[in-house]
Amino acid sequence: MKKVNRVILLFFLLSYLYPQTLKKELPAEGPIDIIERLGDIIALDAEFLNEKGESVLLKDFFYKDIPTIITLNYFECPMLCSLILNGLGDSIQKMNLDPGDEYQIITIDINPYESYQLANQKKNNYIKEYNIDNLDENWVFLTGTHDNIKKITDSLGFIYYYDRIRDEYMHPAALTIVSPEGMISRYLYGIQFIEKDLKLALLESAEGKIGSTLDKIILSCYRYDPYKNTYTIFATNIMRIGGIFTLIFIGLMLYNYWRKDHYLIGD
């Protein structure tokens, strides 16, 4: 009888300790966040494989003097990653900016166990879906080792974790806009990205190196509001621009009157 009692006690003790150990080693929850590192240079020395299986460094993509959209995802993600990439694809399809000339996209796999073949398959799906000229050459899908993934995620302030119970990576939903020099200039959050916000973020990141004159005027009328996660009209700059156009208009009017007076006096 005592032996049976000991077995029962041992069973209950193990039943209590096992979930505690499991909870400690396999957390169901963890930190998910983005610590914004605006102004920092990303880990350009991080090494990856592109979707063709070729070894590349991130710095290899920063020679075109254009801003870069960086997404951190994994390819067997059950839902969130597809929503982010679909939201990005919908937005770039509406923008009147050209891939390769005015921006590029780098998607980096945060799962070190996924293959470049899977990256290639994922890329082909998006290239076919959105059918944008030159997008194939200017949207790369990269896979890498844990150490190199950590390099880039740390430099971007991207905090995520792997949930072994669900067999999923838990991560934030965001895009990072990076300048032609590799400097972080803006984060855009969510799964849908307003065309205006993405375009203004790219123009801002490029510091006037891309876009039309009208784009640059529009950019000067907006400021990014971190609380609303969008670009909002900046009234002061609108007043300044309005004042400039008013002065130009007055100047043209005065010049026109001067010409008429000069013509009459001449007669």
Residue at 241 is within a domain: no
CATH of residue 105: 3.40.30.10
Residue at 88 is within a domain: yes
Structure confidence at residue 117 as a pLDDT band (50, 70, 90) = very high
Q: Which helix or strand (DSSP H or E) is residue 57 part of?
A: strand 55-57
- Give CA separation, 229 vs 33, 44, 140, 197, 207, in Å: 15, 27, 26, 9, 20
Total Cβ atoms within 10 A of residue 100 = 15
Quick one: pLDDT at residue 23?
33
Q: Report how many domains make up the chain.
A: 1
Global pTM exceeds 0.95: no
Residue at 107 is within a domain: yes
Residue at 7 is within a domain: no
Residue at 149 is within a domain: yes
Structure confidence at residue 112 as a pLDDT band (50, 70, 90) = very high
Structure confidence at residue 160 as a pLDDT band (50, 70, 90) = very high
Residue at 166 is within a domain: yes
How far apart CA 215 and CA 265 sit, in angstroms, is 44
Structure confidence at residue 205 as a pLDDT band (50, 70, 90) = confident
Q: What is the mean pLDDT of residues 184-200?
A: 91
pLDDT tens, residue by residue, 1-60: 444 445 444 434 434 343 333 333 334 456 788 999 999 999 999 999 999 999 999 999
How far apart CA 9 and CA 3 sit, in angstroms, is 10
Domain range enclosing 132: 33-211
The whole-chain average pLDDT of the chain stands at 80
